């Protein structure tokens, strides 16, 4: 019996494409990745930002988490599905940014119909989290 391939976080480019697709499916235009000031000392890269510059999503990889260090809000696996949203500052003013941690969205590197379940599960979880964020933005009037 073959051992399963080890799970790895979703590739950042793939995740950003799925996030942008979710934004567009909800009627938002998207702009290019944007650097936003998280504090006087730290810059957060929003991989996807809406056309107004007021809503964004940062998909954080290990190097980005290491670079930002203590500037990031603490996120533990035991927090369940609680969204991590931060206020950051860009040219359009304050942006609400959903912070996603890559280790919450796992995939394996083998492709093919017999291995798609991990990818599908990660994509659906990512989509759900972004939709929850966009719904929160509407109800909290962040736009």
Q: pTM value?
A: 0.88
The first and second tokens of residue 107, run together, are 């995939």
String of DSSP letters for 60-101: E-HHHHHHHGGGSPP--GGGTT--EEEEEEETTEEEEEEEEE
Q: Where do the structural domains in the chain lie, given as residue ranges?
A: 7-138
Tens digit of pLDDT per residue, the chain (143 long)?
A: 555 556 788 999 999 999 999 999 999 999 999 999 999 999 999 999 999 999 999 999 999 999 999 998 877 666 667 899 999 999 889 999 999 999 999 876 555 555 555 678 888 999 999 999 999 999 987 65
Length of the chain measured in residues: 143
Long-range contacts of 111-116 (CB under 8 A, 24+ apart): 115/5
Q: How far apart are CA 129 and CA 131, in angstroms?
A: 5
């Amino acid at each position: 019996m073959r051992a399963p391939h080890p799970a790895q976080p979703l590739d950042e480019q793939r995740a950003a494409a799925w996030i942008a697709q979710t934004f567009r499916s909800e009627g938002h235009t998207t702009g290019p990745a944007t650097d936003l000031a998280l504090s006087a000392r730290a810059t957060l890269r929003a991989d996807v930002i809406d056309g107004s510059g007021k809503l964004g999503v940062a998909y954080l990889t290990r190097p980005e988490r290491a670079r930002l260090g203590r500037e990031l809000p603490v996120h533990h696996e035991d927090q369940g599905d609680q969204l991590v949203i931060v206020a950051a500052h860009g040219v359009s003013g304050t942006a609400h940014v959903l912070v996603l941690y890559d280790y919450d969205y796992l995939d394996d590197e083998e492709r093919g119909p017999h291995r798609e379940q991990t990818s599908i599960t990660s994509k659906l979880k990512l989509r759900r989290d972004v939709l929850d964020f966009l719904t929160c933005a509407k109800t909290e009037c962040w736009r």
